[in-house]
Amino acid sequence: MVSTSMTEDRQLIDPTVPIIGHEVLTSALTRSVGTGRLSHAWLITGPQGTGKASMACLAAGWLMAEQQAASTDLLGDPLFDLNPNDPGTNLVIKGSHPDLLIVRPALEDNKSGQIKIDQIRAVSTFMAKKPGRGGWRVAIVDSLDAVNRNGINALLKILEEPPEKAILFLVASKPGRLPPTIRSRCRLVRVPPLAFGDCRQILEGPFGELPETQLNDLAILCDGAPGLAAELAECDAVSGYQALCSLLADQKLDVAALESLCDKLGRGGAAGQKLRSGIAILIARLLHISAVQASGAEPPLHTSFEQRTVRALASRHTAATLGEKQTAFVRQAAQADGLYLDYGLFLARTLGEVHQKTLP
């Protein structure tokens, strides 16, 4: 359901959770407010799952506070402190602030999963109104990756003629696909992947009941994106990936076992979408790490169950071959899913080829 207006009772922010790893945005925002040069549009980019949309909600909660905070840093800029008892911030936390609009892809009657032009036009209408509570009007588009071409053109019109007392937060995991006209009209903030320790600390909240080994594996496999870790845990992609790694590490491939496993991991329809996406991300990661290993460089941090597979693949292929296989896999996986092909069959064929040795 798209939040065309945030009037339903839906908590957006948990003020008890510490802000970890997003100082790049909070610092830029407080500095802009402190100097009196607050940009009307912010483009928040970074890997998927790094909490960009959550950070935009936190920023909205801070900006829409109705009681001016007295605390400042050494430069005289306001501190990024959320006061959940502030009337404006409290309404944002509850998801019921009349001057906050969040736009996401509609879930009903929307096979494309896109944010459509009518939704972007609603942003223009919303931002042109006077603030209901006398402060800022804030709109969050989550994310630009899902906005179709017509929607992007409509968004550009908003950026060309920004209304007063209105802030637009645009979230994007793939900013390189955006037109330069969009990027040039926004204050760009790049949210980097979080460190392993930060991911581990964040994941202890929702997944603290997991065994230590599983929690560490999630923190490693998400590559600095704790939101991705949550998705991997939700669809149980890690256990399937671990089984794939075991099969690929063996000198002789058990083709029947691979086909059976891929059939389960590649189940179609909306019900299997998160699992297919999670497995694709993990396989691409495996090929990347193996390519780095084959090049002789120090590979990125990886789990204990990946080690044997990484060494096996690096012994069978050159770094260049593994890099080519990774690039081809990412492209073909998106095509197979988008064209509603037999995803399990695609996985089995692709991984069978990955297992085959190309080095003499």
Please tell me the total number of residues recorded for the chain in this structure.
Answer: 360
Measured at the CA of 211, the angle between CA 205 and CA 213, to 5 degrees, comes to: 105
Domain layout of the chain by residue ranges: 23-190, 236-355
Task: Determine the Cα–Cα distance for residues 201 and 20; give it in Å rounded to an integer.
Answer: 9
User: Which DSSP string corresponds to 128-162?
Assistant: HSPPTTSS-EEEEEE-GGGB-HHHHHHHHHHHHSP
Per-residue pLDDT of the chain (360 residues; tens, 9 = 90+): 234 433 344 577 776 676 777 888 889 999 999 898 999 999 999 998 898 998 999 999 999 999 876 677 777 788 888 889 999 999 999 999 999 999 998 876 666 678 989 999 999 999 999 999 989 999 999 989 999 889 999 999 999 988 889 999 999 998 988 999 999 999 999 999 999 999 999 898 889 899 999 999 999 999 999 999 999 999 999 999 999 999 999 999 999 999 999 999 998 887 888 899 999 999 999 999 999 999 999 999 999 999 999 999 999 999 999 999 999 999 999 899 888 889 999 999 999 999 999 998
Cβ neighbours around 17 below 10 Å, total: 12
The 8-class DSSP code of residue 65 comes to -
The CATH fold of domain 23-190: Rossmann fold (3.40.50)
